[in-house]
Amino acid sequence: MDNKLGKLIDFYDLILLDSLKMFMKIQKSKDEYIQMDEISFEGKIWDLDELLKYAEYNELYEECSILVDMKKQIVANNK
């Protein structure tokens, strides 16, 4: 059971890392994520909070800055 849980955690980390890489490399992906209607406001904030935790834990400070900016834009668009 522990081995399966470890693999699941590793998979989750890969998803977070892949998302961070995409947001860092492709401006269009950030813009599309901020504007998309398929994910609720709450869902986007949760996603970005998870990415922020991962980035902060791994000391990816440039990525943190990008994520905080995205979060601010999502909040501003929700008003």
- Express each pLDDT in 35-64 by its tens digit: 999 999 999 999 999 999 999 998 999 999
> Cα–Cα distance between 20 and 32 in angstroms, integer?
14
Domain, as residue range, for 41? 2-78
Q: Provide the domain count of the chain.
A: 1
Quote the pLDDT of residue 69.
96
Helices (H), the chain: 2-25, 27-35, 41-57, 61-78
> Cα–Cα distance between 48 and 67 in angstroms, integer?
6
Residue 5 or 49, more confident: 49
- Express each pLDDT in 64-78 by its tens digit: 999 999 999 999 998
Quote the pLDDT of residue 41.
96
